[in-house]
Structure 1
Amino acid sequence: MKNNESTHAHTPKEKYEILIKILDTIREESRVSGHKRYTPSEAEEDRLNNARARAYIHLFLKVMFGITDFSERERWITDDSYDGGIDAYYIDKETKQIFLIQSKFRTTNKNFETKEIALSEILQMDIDRILDGETHDEEQNEYNGKIKQLQREIGRIDDIARYKYRIVILANLNGVSSQKIRNLTGGYNAEVFDFKKSYEKLVFPVVSGNYFAASEITIPVDISNKSSGTKISYTVTTKANDCEITVLFVPAIEIAKVMSKYKNSILQFNPRSHLELEGQQVNTAIRNTIEKTSTNELALFNNGITIISDETSINEKVGIKYQAQLLIKNPQIINGGQTSYTLSKIYEEQKESGDLTVFNNKEILLKVITLVTNTDTQAKLQLIDEISNATNKQTPVITADKLANDTIHKKIQSVLFEESGLLYERKRGEFADGLHNKYISEQQIIERNLFFRLFYCCKGLIELTNQKRLFQRSELQELNEQDTIVIKRVPNAYKLYEALTSTKRKNTKVSQTQYAKIYIGTLLLGDRTNISEQDLDHINEIWTDLENNLKKKYPNFTSKKNKTTSDSSNLIETFSYRSYFRSKFFLLDAKDGVAKFTNTSGPLSK
Structure 2
Amino acid sequence: MTKYQTLINILDTIIKDAPASMNKKYPRTSDVEKQNQARARAFIHLYLKVNFGILDFKEREHFITDGSYDGGIDGYYIHSETKTVYFIQSKFRTNDRNFESKQIDLTEILVMDVNRILDGENSDEDGNEYNGKIKQLQREISSIDDIARYSYQVIILANLKDVKASDLRKLTGGFAASVFDFNKCYEDLVFPVITGTFYKASDLSINIDLSNKNAGSKISYTVLTDKGECEITVLFVPTIELGRIMYKYKNSILKYNPRSYLGHEGKKVNTAIKETILENSTNEFALYNNGVTMLSDETYINERIGQKNKAQLIVKNPQIINGGQTSYTLSRIYEENLEDDVEKVFQSKEVLVKIITLLENSNHENKVDLIKNISNATNQQTPVINADKISNDDLQVKIQKWLFDHYGLLYERKRGEFADGVFNGYIPAKSVLERNLFFRMFYCSNGKVTKAREKKLFIRQNISFEELTDKDSLDNSYYGFLCFKKMSKLKHPNQRVDLNTYAKVRAMTLLFKPDEIDNYEENIERDYKILNDEWKSFLKAFQESYSNTKTRKDKKTGELKTYQSYNYSKWFDSPQFEIDLIKHYKK
User: Taking structure 1 as the reference length, what is the TM-score of the superposition?
Assistant: 0.90
Larger mean Cα displacement after TM superposition, 355-364 or 474-483: 474-483
Q: 1:457 to 1:198 in 2, by over 3 A?
A: same
Q: In 2, distance between residues paired with 1:108 and 1:20?
A: 10
Give the aligned partner of residue 527 of structure 2.
Answer: 535
The amino acid of 1:224's aligned partner reads S
Secondary structure, in 3 states, of the residue corresponding to 2:19? helix
Matched, 1:522 2:514: no
Q: In 1, distance between residues paired with 2:120 and 2:553?
A: 94
Deviation at residue 514 of structure 1 after TM alignment: 2.0
Give the aligned partner of residue 15 of structure 2.
Answer: 27
Matched, 1:559 2:559: no
Deviation at residue 587 of structure 1 after TM alignment: 4.2
Matched, 1:205 2:192: yes
Residue of 224, 228, 245 corresponding to 1:237: 224
The answer to whether the 8 Å contact 2:482/2:521 transfers is no
1:86-97 mapped onto 2 (5 Å cutoff)? 86-97=73-84
Matched, 1:81 2:71: no
1:51-70 mapped onto 2 (5 Å cutoff)? 51-70=38-57
Q: In 2, distance between residues paired with 1:362 and 1:152?
A: 43
Q: In 2, distance between residues paired with 1:309 and 1:505?
A: 49
Larger mean Cα displacement after TM superposition, 95-104 or 526-535: 526-535
Q: In 2, distance between residues paired with 1:530 and 1:347?
A: 41
Give the aligned partner of residue 568 of structure 2.
Answer: 577
Q: In 2, distance between residues paired with 1:90 and 1:391?
A: 41
Q: 1:316 to 1:566 in 2, by over 3 A?
A: closer
Percent of counterpart pairs with the same letter? 51
Q: In 2, distance between residues paired with 1:305 and 1:466?
A: 37
**Unmatched 5+ residue regions in structure 2?**
none
Matched, 1:391 2:378: yes
The answer to whether the 8 Å contact 1:457/1:465 transfers is yes
Give the aligned partner of residue 492 of structure 1.
Answer: 479
Give the aligned partner of residue 245 of structure 2.
Answer: 258
Secondary structure, in 3 states, of the residue corresponding to 2:55? coil
Matched, 1:340 2:332: no
The amino acid of 1:576's aligned partner reads N
Q: 1:503 to 1:331 in 2, by over 3 A?
A: farther
Residue of 4, 8, 22 corresponding to 1:16: 4
Secondary structure, in 3 states, of the residue corresponding to 1:37? coil
Residue of 90, 108, 132 corresponding to 2:119: 132
Secondary structure, in 3 states, of the residue corresponding to 2:257? coil
Secondary structure, in 3 states, of the residue corresponding to 1:368? strand
Q: In 1, distance between residues paired with 2:249 and 2:169?
A: 34
Secondary structure, in 3 states, of the residue corresponding to 1:516? helix
Q: In 1, distance between residues paired with 2:41 and 2:402?
A: 29
The answer to whether the 8 Å contact 1:450/1:506 transfers is no
Give the aligned partner of residue 297 of structure 1.
Answer: 284
Q: In 2, distance between residues paired with 1:521 and 1:414?
A: 27
Matched, 1:44 2:31: yes
Matched, 1:330 2:322: no
Secondary structure, in 3 states, of the residue corresponding to 1:167? strand
Q: In 2, distance between residues paired with 1:100 and 1:217?
A: 27
The answer to whether the 8 Å contact 1:214/1:330 transfers is yes
Q: In 2, distance between residues paired with 1:542 and 1:550?
A: 13
CA deviation vs aligned residue, 1:545-587 (integer Å, no higher than 9, x gap):
75444345445xx333459799998643221101223434234
CA deviation vs aligned residue, 1:508-547 (integer Å, no higher than 9, x gap):
6422232122122123223331243331133336756754
The answer to whether the 8 Å contact 1:241/1:375 transfers is no
Q: In 1, distance between residues paired with 2:219 and 2:460?
A: 43
Secondary structure, in 3 states, of the residue corresponding to 2:466? coil
The amino acid of 2:499's aligned partner reads Q
Matched, 1:194 2:181: yes
Give the aligned partner of residue 430 of structure 2.
Answer: 443
The answer to whether the 8 Å contact 1:273/1:428 transfers is yes
Q: In 1, distance between residues paired with 2:173 and 2:76?
A: 17
The amino acid of 1:29's aligned partner reads D
Matched, 1:181 2:161: no
1:465-480 mapped onto 2 (5 Å cutoff)? 465-480=452-467
CA deviation vs aligned residue, 1:4-60 (integer Å, no higher than 9, x gap):
xxxxxxxxx62221111111111111126x211344242332222111100010000
Q: In 2, distance between residues paired with 1:284 and 1:142?
A: 57
The answer to whether the 8 Å contact 2:468/2:474 transfers is no
Give the aligned partner of residue 267 of structure 1.
Answer: 254
Secondary structure, in 3 states, of the residue corresponding to 1:352? coil
Secondary structure, in 3 states, of the residue corresponding to 1:438? coil
User: Taking structure 2 as the reference length, what is the TM-score of the superposition?
Assistant: 0.93
Larger mean Cα displacement after TM superposition, 81-90 or 293-302: 293-302
Residue of 416, 419, 433 corresponding to 1:429: 416
Larger mean Cα displacement after TM superposition, 379-388 or 66-75: 379-388
Q: In 2, distance between residues paired with 1:141 and 1:592?
A: 75
Give the aligned partner of residue 106 of structure 1.
Answer: 93
Give the aligned partner of residue 235 of structure 2.
Answer: 248
Give the aligned partner of residue 8 of structure 1.
Answer: none
Larger mean Cα displacement after TM superposition, 282-291 or 18-27: 282-291
The answer to whether the 8 Å contact 2:160/2:179 transfers is yes
Q: In 1, distance between residues paired with 2:194 and 2:472?
A: 25
Give the aligned partner of residue 10 of structure 1.
Answer: none
Q: 1:508 to 1:547 in 2, by over 3 A?
A: closer
Q: In 1, distance between residues paired with 2:353 and 2:202?
A: 19
The amino acid of 2:287's aligned partner reads L
The amino acid of 1:265's aligned partner reads S
The amino acid of 1:135's aligned partner reads N
The amino acid of 1:308's aligned partner reads L
Q: In 2, distance between residues paired with 1:194 and 1:59?
A: 14
The answer to whether the 8 Å contact 1:253/1:347 transfers is yes
Residue of 157, 162, 168 corresponding to 1:170: 157
Q: 1:590 to 1:190 in 2, by over 3 A?
A: farther
Give the aligned partner of residue 353 of structure 2.
Answer: 366
Larger mean Cα displacement after TM superposition, 122-131 or 13-22: 13-22
CA deviation vs aligned residue, 1:83-118 (integer Å, no higher than 9, x gap):
111111111111111111100001112211121111
Give the aligned partner of residue 218 of structure 1.
Answer: 205
Deviation at residue 491 of structure 1 after TM alignment: 2.8
Q: 1:504 to 1:451 in 2, by over 3 A?
A: farther
Secondary structure, in 3 states, of the residue corresponding to 1:151? helix
The amino acid of 1:539's aligned partner reads L
- Give the CA RMSD over aligned residues: 2.4
The answer to whether the 8 Å contact 1:105/1:171 transfers is yes
Deviation at residue 175 of structure 1 after TM alignment: 1.9
The answer to whether the 8 Å contact 1:240/1:383 transfers is yes
Secondary structure, in 3 states, of the residue corresponding to 1:462? coil
Secondary structure, in 3 states, of the residue corresponding to 1:343? helix
Q: In 1, distance between residues paired with 2:78 and 2:333?
A: 32
The answer to whether the 8 Å contact 1:79/1:88 transfers is yes
Number of paired residues? 581
Q: 1:322 to 1:354 in 2, by over 3 A?
A: closer
Secondary structure, in 3 states, of the residue corresponding to 1:479? helix
Q: In 2, distance between residues paired with 1:229 and 1:331?
A: 23
Q: In 2, distance between residues paired with 1:591 and 1:39?
A: 55
Secondary structure, in 3 states, of the residue corresponding to 2:563? strand
Residue of 550, 558, 582 corresponding to 2:542: 550
